[in-house]
Chain A
Amino acid sequence: MAIIEVSNLRKSFGKLDVLKQITFDVNKNDVIAVIGPSGSGKSTMLRSLIHLEEINAGSITIDGDSFVKDGVYAKPQEIKKITSKMGMVFQHFNLFPHLTVKENLELPPKLVKNEPIEMIQQRSNDLLRKVGLTERADAYPANLSGGQKQRVAIARALMMNPEILLFDEPTSALDPELTGEVLEVIKALAKEQMTMIVVTHEMGFAREVANRVIFMDNGEIIESGHPAELFTNPKNERTKAFLSRSLK
């Protein structure tokens, strides 16, 4: 069974239709790359999945539970419960600047999860080791490089034990030489079978890590398929045009 089911999602800002009839499924352990030109609605689509944007019509079902069905939202508590199965990593990291790296990781589960503190600390130690930042545990975000910040942000999202991770252009705000370290972390998560949706401009990464690529343009899914297929043999003209521009 699909872990995420999106059907007939529509959203408009005023007269502008940002998302038109978006429908797709995500299976457990899928790594989905969402590509497309700027303004194609990729980020809005991703943000709708975790209720950072309200949609106007359509349904979103996470792990069997719909938090919005035919454009009607469930009660806030219900939405919160359903969306808590997902974690999100932002383009601009959104770390809490007044907390150290360790506090960034530990504060949310301390506030939200009913767990013994030792478990939380154990997990933050493990995750910091995993993203290679053990020695920066007591640093403030202001003193980290962009790549380090994003790795902390990924660890922070993982602290909540999500079943699904959403990435909104995780490397777009980084200097080119810093994207590698972040992509490595995401690759490692893919190896561990984490279910992920990654909105990205990194075609090489999409090709290497994703098991499915979704190409969006103008608020619609134009084409989707296995990366080997979609990148080498795109069917739609718009996909071809976009890829020839991006792969240059």
Chain B
Amino acid sequence: MTLDYFTSILVPMLEGAQMTVLLFFIAIIVSIPFGFLLTLAVKSSLKPLSLLAQGYIYIMRGTPLLLQLLLICFGLPMLPVVGEYLVLDRFVAACLGFVLNYAAYFAEIFRGGLLAIDKGQYEASQVLGLSKWQTTTRIILPQMFRVTLPAIANESVTLVKDTALLYAVAVPELLHYAQTAVNRDFTIVPFFVAGVIYLIMTLVLTFIFKGIEKRYKFE
């Protein structure tokens, strides 16, 4: 095993890791606000809206992410009439799948976070004359964010690992290059390299979230 060989497999894998990181950021940045909107929809007093959001969450959490990805990448274009307009770029389709799926999980996390907030917070806001909007944005959201941070961190680590599902819809990413090298060179070393790269990514993420938790300790 030479250093040259090592570099020769590492470079494409790191390029693949870029795809992983890009998908991660897109998914996290879009699915968190979308998830919060879903939470609000679930809690809405408009019954149809609430039921719709609950049904959406149920379907997204109740079926495999892989199935959803396959459906978006390969299933949608097969639909009659509209199918031809639904041929998306694979990566775009994958991003869409991840966002739609993770938003459902984040919605559940935020719903739990809202339940943890004492009703006294709403009452104090009311008697001090804050509007509903002010109460939500200045009093409730910051507390909800704090309560749900550990769960968000946990979900983010899962997301990093789930990006490996891109392999199944043939978007070249980290695992794809590892698998290619394994087949080509008949060695399992690339799998370990891939594993270490995933570990580094999740470790960095864990540290970032620990930092954020410390910053928002409110003590």
Give chain A's interface residues, CB within 8 Å of chain B: 50-52, 80, 83-84, 86-88, 90, 92-98, 107-108, 111-112, 140, 142-143, 156-157, 160
Q: Which residues of A contact B124 (CB under 8 A)?
A: 88, 90, 94-96
Q: Which residues of A contact B134 (CB under 8 A)?
A: 111-112
**Does B205 count as interface, using CB distance less than 8 angstroms?**
no
Of B82-90, B135-143, B191-199, the one contacting chain A is B135-143
Q: Which residues of B contact A140 (CB under 8 A)?
A: 218-219
Taking the closest CB of chain A, its distance from the CB of B142, in whole angstroms, is: 5
Contact in complex: B127, A98 (CB < 8 Å)? no
Q: Which residues of A contact B120 (CB under 8 A)?
A: 90, 92-94
A-B contact pairs, 8 of them (CB 8 A): A80-B129, A87-B127, A93-B120, A94-B120, A96-B139, A98-B143, A111-B134, A157-B128
Give chain B's interface residues, CB within 8 Å of chain A: 118, 120-121, 123-124, 126-131, 134, 138-139, 142-143, 146, 216, 218-219
Q: How far is the CA of A88 from the CA of B128 in the complex (A)?
A: 8
Contact in complex: B218, A97 (CB < 8 Å)? yes
By beta carbon, the residue of chain A nearest B127 is A88
Q: Which residues of A contact B131 (CB under 8 A)?
A: 111
Q: How far is the CA of A83 from the CA of B129 in the complex (A)?
A: 9
Residue of B118, B127, B129 contacting most chain A CB atoms (<10 Å): B127
Q: How far is the CA of A96 from the CA of B124 in the complex (A)?
A: 9
Residue of B123, B124, B216 contacting most chain A CB atoms (<10 Å): B124
Q: How far is the CA of A90 from the CA of B128 in the complex (A)?
A: 12
Taking the closest CB of chain A, its distance from the CB of B158, in whole angstroms, is: 27
Taking the closest CB of chain B, its distance from the CB of A25, in whole angstroms, is: 22
Q: How far is the CA of A241 from the CA of B134 in the complex (A)?
A: 47
Q: Which residues of A contact B130 (CB under 8 A)?
A: 108, 111-112
By beta carbon, the residue of chain A nearest B124 is A94
